[in-house]
Structure 1
Amino acid sequence: MKTRIITGVALFLAVLAIFIIDSYLLNFIILGIVLFFSFVESEKLYGLKEKTLVIIAMIFYLLAPFSNPVFIAILSVLLVLSVLAHFKSESLRSVLPFLYPMTPIFLIWMLYSEFGIAYLAWMILTVVACDSGAYFVGKFYGKRVFSLTSPNKTWEGVAGGIFLGSFVGAFLGYFVTEDILHSLLTSLFVAAFGVWGDLFESYLKRNAGVKDSGDIFPGHGGMLDRIDGYLFGVVAMLWMLSW
């Protein structure tokens, strides 16, 4: 518990510094680092050993600032599928890391590059609030199991997390959009999707027979363990912003 809290506080301060500095180049580099470690961790979860896949992912990432990141992500998926078909591969697993986590990470870059750091901070802090609320409410009041995929998650914890995420997100979103209703609805969807992002990560780890995706962050596991909620939450955020 102590190690988890210390690491969590350190990560929060680091992210806060990134928000304040708001350097386009620095943020691109940091997200690239996130992509690299997340992609490598996902390969282990998918049972892949092709070391060239992460190199391909990073090459496509370098193209993201010059075009719509969604199109770049789709292009990379289609390219990998084309190569697999060309060589008559017996498995399509090699494309999985390009679908998750690469494509959602490209969407995070899209959110930042098109809407700015305030919207990225809004999304991230909403998921952080949801995670924190779910953890503490679940720890002290949780009784009913939310999903067999992750027996430690409870309905009480999920409800507490979504409530806190929605409340904090609505507060932050109001200063960004000056529309309290849209901020509340957006934060509600981001928090809910964040919960499912965390659950999906648990599903992958359970199938792979591992506790954490990695060991980069003491008490928190790997990179994917830290960003799983954002990878689903960013989709909800961009969807709501498209209204």
Structure 2
Amino acid sequence: MAPALERQGYWGPTTSTLDWCEQNYAVTPYIAEFWNTVSNLIMIIPPIFGAIQSIRDGLEKRYVAAYLALTVVGMGSWCFHMTLKYEMQLLDELPMIYSCCIFVYCMFECFKAKNSVNYHLLFTLVLFSLIVTTVYLKVKEPVFHQVMYGMLVFTLVLRSIYIVTWVYPWLRGLGYTSLGIFLLGFLLWNIDNIFCDSLRNFRKKMPPILGVTTQFHAWWHILTGLGSYLHILFSLYTRTLYLRYRPKVKFFFGIWPVIMFEPLRKH
């Protein structure tokens, strides 16, 4: 990622250990990275409705936690990109670890009795989160956080592939769509980091509306937010299918995917 060209605005000097490719305070003096900030709405609003719907459907609390964890990630990322303060950076990065741990727990408990609790896995994930938090607060090295986050995502990918290969092959569409969207976001995140100087020069020559489309870190938020949301749907679909809830993916307003349930089958 390139060093920031403007480091002053409403929030004062940058104190975060990361500063992304978007030009700081270019849109408004009150938001350091405008597009990187507002793009987090996809990680805030839809998961809130997902959590509410999960409560209404009487689903297990871990799925409510998964939705809300994604919302917390989006809110933390909003605060980080808005201020570029170190404390807000932690509010963005550490919940990424915690939310992924919740996703891992949900995925590995898909085929257990209803409302069961795996205390061994729970302890392992909590311990992992505490170790990552402690080390990261001490070393303050973003690469460490990225590697730990990558390990969790890789675990989710392997588990998902197992499910769509050996358990519910007809869920490949949902599972691979979630994975593909996430990987596309990861690709754009890397392009934004590696070719930042070229992207900034391109934006200077292009009309603002066209330059916005090259804010690839913002696209990372949009695509990984959507990918994470679809992953929760995939996990929830797998779980409720096992519990014989007869889930179906439907599209709210013909656009946004949600899971609906038919009456339970009688055993």
Q: Same fold (TM over 0.5)?
A: no
Higher relative helix content: 1
| Normalised TM-score (structure 1) | 0.31
Q: Which has the larger radius of gyration?
A: 2
